[in-house]
Amino acid sequence: MAKTVLSVPAIEVRQGKDRVLYSFAIDGKRVPSFAAISRVKRSDGQLEGYQRPEVLSHIAEIRQYIESASPMIPNAIVLAFDKRVTFVPSSAANGKRQTIRVGMLHIPVDASLPDTQKPGFVVDGQQRLAAIRDARVDAFPVCVTAFVTENVAEQVEQFILVNSTKPLQKGLIYELLPGTIARLPTILERRRFPAHLLDRLNSTSASPLKGMIQTPTTTTGVIKDTSILRMIENSLSDGLLYRFRDPADGKGDADQMVAGLHNFFSAVRNVFPRAWGLPPRRSRLMHGAGIVSLGLLMDAIAERKRRKNVPSQSDFEGDLSPLVDVCRWTDGYWDFGPGQKRRWNEIQNTGKDIQLLSNYLLVQYKALVWNKDGEIAVIRDSRRKVMAN
């Protein structure tokens, strides 16, 4: 491409006394022709640039989304231009200072220029632009917000401000997931169905956990949403819920899954009434370690029953009742073996403690209830689930 000028319709917006922004739309694949990435690095001990390296996995996620059936990226790319970029309003100001004007933004484009001499720098949106660059699409228009400055410090300032805003709480994201239908990044896509099951547990009138799971909109809940999600994900992997899962889409018969969870936690409520409904600081049954360990125990009971349908509440109660005397949810000491006595509230929500507690419950369950045929498989599977998390 020879030297040329790219002219795009734009809106000029004046903010305060001397701040001017330009808003326009352009094919994202064309942005690298006039705007570069200012990579952060050190030269002779001095810090230069401000953009972090490309995150390939994140770019791949965005690229897959762009190549999907109906992608939409509403967030504007933020660019900083130097004074080579000019704006020509479409009409005279009539002697009056206007805060908003429409016109044409003229951007010089020169393929022979190195990145450091291009008229624009990307302040925010480098991963999106990289994904658009690599996507197998002919074009992908994006919204752009730009400002003009010769001052690198101002570019850095805007970069920091844009990237230091507080992100959404994970809990709020998980709570919003069940209402979405579009393709999402892989990690959120995997959590959408577990989040749907969590929502039903927390909102269905028949659920023993109704209103007990703490989310951004259910602040009085006593069980952390992340603990319930982890328990559900473990069971979807190869436990009770896996029986009703559809491998094609990772979802399945949600009604059967919810029924199984209802039956199990109704049984837990009846078998351990003194520990039920208390905040985690007063009951390790409601604690993250307790919830995840109980989920593995639920899977073990379902495996022992070996039924196609979910075990009934009475089935779960029958297998949980022998464990009452060996559980220390609210007082006393857990006896994990020689030199392994732990006060009831010393169990923490860590991988090591969850493995310790879940192994203890499963060993006690097998000793008191389980026949020898299922012993090896259930210990192996529970240990693998805990270590994977």
Query: What would the pLDDT profile of 104-144 be if each residue is shown by its tens digit?
Result: 999 999 988 888 889 998 888 888 999 999 999 999 999 99
Cβ-contact 273, 324 below 8 angstroms: no
Model pLDDT, residue 42: 44
Q: Which residues of 344-358 are buried (b: 16+ CB within 10 A; e: fewer)?
A: bbebbbeeebbbbbb
DSSP assigned state of 311: P
Q: What percent of the chain has pLDDT over 90?
A: 60
Which residues on neighbouring strands pair with residue 246, listed in sequence order? Answer: 251
User: Is it the case that residue 193 has pLDDT exceeding 90?
Assistant: yes
Please give the average per-residue pLDDT across 174-194, as a whole number.
83
Model pLDDT, residue 385: 55
Model pLDDT, residue 47: 45
User: For residue range 298-311, what is the model confidence (pLDDT) as tens digits?
Assistant: 999 999 887 778 99
More confident residue, 225 or 69: 225
More confident residue, 225 or 155: 225
**Can you tell me the distance from the alpha carbon of 312 to that of 197, in angstroms, rounded to the nearest whole number?**
19
Q: What percent of the chain has pLDDT over 70?
A: 85
**Can you tell me the distance from the alpha carbon of 212 to that of 56, in angstroms, rounded to the nearest whole number?**
39
User: For residue range 246-285, what is the model confidence (pLDDT) as tens digits?
Assistant: 877 778 999 999 999 999 999 999 999 999 999 999 999 9
Model pLDDT, residue 383: 47
User: Is it the case that residue 96 has pLDDT exceeding 70?
Assistant: no
User: For residue range 156-183, what is the model confidence (pLDDT) as tens digits?
Assistant: 666 666 666 666 678 888 888 888 777 7
Cβ-contact 354, 340 below 8 angstroms: no
Model pLDDT, residue 19: 87
More confident residue, 240 or 370: 240
User: Is it the case that residue 315 has pLDDT exceeding 60?
Assistant: yes
How far is residue 348 from each of residues 210, 338, 341, measured CA to CA in Å?
25, 20, 14
User: Is it the case that residue 389 has pLDDT exceeding 90?
Assistant: no
> What's phi and psi for 100, nearest 5 deg?
-135, 125
Count how many Cα atoms sit within 13 Å of the Cα of residue 205 in the half-sphere of its side chain: 0
User: For residue range 48-86, what is the model confidence (pLDDT) as tens digits?
Assistant: 454 456 667 888 889 999 998 889 999 999 998 989 999
